[in-house]
Structure 1
Amino acid sequence: MVDKIQDLNLPATVVTRLIKEALPDGINIGKEARSAIARAASIFIIYLTSSTAAAAKKQKHKSLSSDNVFSALEEIEFENFIEPLREALEAFRKANKEKKSSKNESKTTNDANATATADEDMDDDMNESAAQEPTDGTEIEE
Structure 2
Amino acid sequence: MPPRKSDVAKATSEEVAVGAPSTSTPAKEAAHKEKDGINIEDLNLPKSIVTRLAKSVLPPSTQIQGNAMLAMTKSATVFVGYLAAHANEYAQAANRKTVAPADVLRALEDLEFGEFRPRLERELEVFSENAARKRAGAAKKKKGGEK
TM-score with structure 2 setting the length = 0.69
Q: Which runs of 5+ in 2 are unaligned?
A: 1-35
Count of residues in correspondence between the two structures: 112
* Partner in structure 1 of residue 91 of structure 2: 56
Give the one of 101, 119, 129 matched to 2:136: 101
Q: Does 1:36 align with 2:41?
A: no
d(CA) in 2 for partners of 1:67, 1:40: 24
Deviations 1:72-96, CA, capped at 9 Å, x for gaps:
0000001011111111111111101
d(CA) in 1 for partners of 2:58, 2:91: 35
Query: Which residue type is aligned with residue 81 of structure 1?
Result: F
d(CA) in 1 for partners of 2:93, 2:138: 39
What is the RMSD of the two structures over their aligned residues, measured on CA atoms?
1.8
The 3 A distance-change label for structure 1 pair 58 and 106 is: closer
Q: Name which of structure 1's ranges 99-108 and 40-49 shifts more when overlaid on structure 2.
A: 99-108
- What SS does the aligned partner of 1:25 have? coil
Q: Which runs of 5+ in 1 are unaligned?
A: 113-142
d(CA) in 2 for partners of 1:10, 1:66: 20
d(CA) in 1 for partners of 2:55, 2:81: 23
Shift of 1:9: 0.9
Shift of 1:2: 6.9
The 3 A distance-change label for structure 1 pair 95 and 32 is: same
- Pair member with larger Rg: 1
Q: Does 1:72 align with 2:107?
A: yes
d(CA) in 2 for partners of 1:53, 1:19: 27
Which runs of 4 or more aligned residues in structure 1 lie more than 4 Å from their structure 2 counterparts after TM superposition? Answer: none
